[in-house]
Amino acid sequence: MRKSVLLFLLIPILSYSQIRFGITGTLQNSSVTKIHNKSSSRYAGSIGALAQIQLDNYYRFFIQPEVSYSLQGEKDKIKLSGKSTKAKFFQNYINIPVYFRAYFSEAESEFFSEIGPQLGILIYQKDKKLEKERYGSNPKNLDASISIGFGYSIFRKSEFFIRYNYGFIDIYDKFYRKQNTSILAFGFAYIFD
């Protein structure tokens, strides 16, 4: 019954909306906040796909779900066999954000802002044994975060943006203090007609 009601409510929105698809990629700086003093960020990137669902007649407001493969984590100084070395505590995620996007006007080339929640699913982890020894546990399989961004669209096709993402989940639950994922990303998207 609930599914039928939800479908009934979504039919007017989906029939009214125009949906466009695109690809996106970022260069990003990721880290885990408050984990330790000697860590350094991981510089990597992400690649993915998006959909833009129009919400109004004026081409200003959209819902933009995305799915991306994201390289995250950080480096930490540790001692192995009496020598100080940098360990790579890298995690790769499938991230699924859903943005509410607003363009500043109806112009084809225009600035925009966006905000939305993101679910991250851990699919790869480097140095599992070492990471567990260092932090008391391995990272959790799920991460939930909020993302905010700002950008510029050229003819509503080529878009450049900057985003900041902050996690709400305690990634290493056995570490002595709470820590969160943190990502600053510079990106590009191309939207197909």
Domain count, the chain: 1
Q: What's the CATH number where 86 sits?
A: 2.40.160.20
Instruction: Specify the pTM.
Output: 0.82
9, part of any domain: no
182, part of any domain: yes
Domain assignment of residue 26, given as a range = 18-191
Per-residue pLDDT of the chain (193 residues; tens, 9 = 90+): 555 555 555 554 555 568 999 999 999 999 886 655 567 888 999 999 999 999 999 899 999 999 999 999 888 777 666 677 777 778 899 999 999 999 999 999 999 999 999 999 999 887 666 666 666 566 778 999 999 999 999 999 999 999 999 998 887 766 656 777 899 999 999 999 7
User: Could you tell me which residues come within 8 angstroms of residue 89 by beta carbon, excluding any fewer than 6 positions away?
Assistant: 73, 74, 75, 76, 126, 127, 130, 131, 134
8, part of any domain: no
158, part of any domain: yes
29, part of any domain: yes
130, part of any domain: yes
Give the DSSP H or E segment for 26: strand 19-32
